[in-house]
Amino acid sequence: MKKNLTFLVLAAIGLASCNNEYKKDKTGLLYKIYTDKAGPRINEGDFVSAGVVIKNDADSVQFSTYGSGFPQQFQVSKSKYKGDIFAGMKLLTEGDSASFKLPADSIFKNTTRAALFKNKFVTYDIKIEKVIPRGNMTAQEFQAAINKYIMTLALAVKNAEAGKIQKYITDKKLNVTQTDSGLYYAITIKGKGPLARPGDTVVVDYTGYLLNGKIFDTSIYPDAVKGKIVNPKREYAPIGIPLGEKKVIAGWEQGLMLLPKATKATFIIPSKLAYGAQGYGGIAPYTPLVYDIWVANIIHPTPGTHTPAKK
């Protein structure tokens, strides 16, 4: 679970702002410490688990670990440049909270993009939840300590998942049906016709959310704009899902076979039917997912073939 915080900065570039109230250390790092606990400072090589919020200079949140309940984990490495986020980590200890303001052009130094970010900053709000010092432990002992901590953390998140789902359903006042597998679905517009079966292709428009409302994926351009996840290389249009080929998560496979053509529905998918204990990309382990689904078409295989007909 060793991760480098610097990759998160790609989502957090904004307009420049003043640096009032921030102190500057000898490396040029701008920082503001809110909670300063007693204890040994974080050192290079230590394992850190932290709550992280990344904001642009308009104070708009671009990334947060708090929606999933799973903090960011990483091993503190040698600074890549003066005043980087790892320099900031070495000012802190377990239990501390702070903000760091990093110049974006330094992050993209020696790249063709550096000039685009001159005088722009990225702000990291950090809450150090756990530090495992590298110290004199062997590599095996160090990894064992990390694994033990992560397993304990994951178990707590897993045990809280069912309650989070029920709270979401109650707060949204959804009239849901629960399947034997644990999938929740609510139909808002009921279509007509036969249901899809394995071998069929279901053509859908969709938007995926975390329980905190953050959009993480969609086939609908206005929703991509709303969620600030527009991919200029992507075509925003309904997609075809061939059922029975395990090309989508189990919650989709099961849910799409419950909806006739022209149906609009919401799926609340527990993590065991989504990305489970491993998570995926920006989706943390044991994260339930919500999808708004519109079934545009159900395409049945052409008689005598094993492939679906063309749209």
Q: What are the pLDDT digits (tens) for 222-276?
A: 999 999 899 999 999 999 999 999 999 999 999 999 999 999 999 999 999 999 9
Q: Is the pLDDT of residue 13 over 50?
A: no
pLDDT at res. 7: 40
Residue 187 sits in the same domain as residue 273:
yes
pLDDT at res. 281: 83
What's the rounded Cα separation, in Å, for the pair 138 and 219?
48
Confidence of residue 303 (pLDDT cuts 50, 70, 90): low
pLDDT at res. 112: 55
Is the model more confident about 27 or about 223? Answer: 223
pLDDT at res. 217: 96
Confidence of residue 162 (pLDDT cuts 50, 70, 90): very high
CA atoms within 13 A on the CB side of 306: 2
Q: Is the pLDDT of residue 29 over 70?
A: yes
Per the domain annotation, does 288 fall within a domain?
yes
Q: Is the pLDDT of residue 10 over 80?
A: no
Alpha helices in 118-201 (DSSP H): 139-172
Per the domain annotation, does 234 fall within a domain?
yes
CA 142 to chain centre: 27
pLDDT at res. 255: 97
- pLDDT tens for 188-220 read 999 999 999 999 999 999 999 999 999 999 999
Burial class (CB in 10 A: 0-12, 13-18, 19+), 34: exposed
Residue 78 sits in the same domain as residue 200:
no
> ∠149-153-156 over CA atoms, to 5°?
145
Residue 166 sits in the same domain as residue 295:
yes
Which residues make Cβ contacts (< 8 Å) with residue 277, sequence separation at least 6? Answer: 154, 158, 271, 285, 286
pLDDT at res. 121: 84
Which residues make Cβ contacts (< 8 Å) with residue 233, sequence separation at least 6? Answer: none
The partner residues of 202 in beta bridges, in order of sequence, read 241, 298
Per the domain annotation, does 141 fall within a domain?
no
Residue 172 sits in the same domain as residue 291:
yes
- pLDDT tens for 112-151 read 555 555 567 889 999 999 999 999 999 999 999 999 999 9
Residue 130 sits in the same domain as residue 165:
no
Residue 170 sits in the same domain as residue 129:
no
In angstroms, the Cα distances linking 14 to 64, 79, 105, 289 are 16, 23, 12, 28
Per the domain annotation, does 16 fall within a domain?
yes
pLDDT at res. 63: 81
Residue 171 sits in the same domain as residue 282:
yes
Residue 170 sits in the same domain as residue 280:
yes
Other Cβ atoms less than 10 A from the Cβ of 101: the count is 20
What total number of domains does the chain contain? 2
Per the domain annotation, does 170 fall within a domain?
yes
Per the domain annotation, does 310 fall within a domain?
no
Q: Is the pLDDT of residue 6 over 60?
A: no
Is the model more confident about 34 or about 282? Answer: 34
Q: Which of 120, 135, 150 is the last residue of a domain?
A: 135
Per the domain annotation, does 19 fall within a domain?
yes
DSSP type of residue 95: T
Domain that holds residue 175: 161-299
Residue 225 sits in the same domain as residue 279:
yes
215 backbone dihedrals φ, ψ, rounded to 5°: -80, 130
User: What CATH number is associated with residue 230?
Assistant: 3.10.50.40
Structure tokens given for 299: 């395409």
Which range has highest mean pLDDT (48-57, 110-119, 162-171)? 162-171
Q: Which amino acid is at 51?
A: G
Confidence of residue 167 (pLDDT cuts 50, 70, 90): very high
Residue 291 sits in the same domain as residue 182:
yes
pLDDT at res. 304: 53
Average pLDDT over the chain, rounded to an integer: 87
Q: Is the pLDDT of residue 14 over 50?
A: no
Per the domain annotation, does 236 fall within a domain?
yes
- pLDDT tens for 275-297 read 999 888 888 889 999 999 999 99
What's the rounded Cα separation, in Å, for the pair 160 and 126?
23
**Is pTM beyond 0.85 here?**
no
What's the rounded Cα separation, in Å, for the pair 94 and 98?
12
Residue 243 sits in the same domain as residue 193:
yes
Residue 200 sits in the same domain as residue 111:
no
Q: Which amino acid is at 88?
A: G
Give the least confident one: 46-50, 68-72, 82-86, 104-108.
104-108
| Positive or negative: CA dihedral 291, 297, 303, 308 | negative
Query: Strand 264-269 vs strand 184-189: parallel, antiparallel, or unpaired?
Result: antiparallel
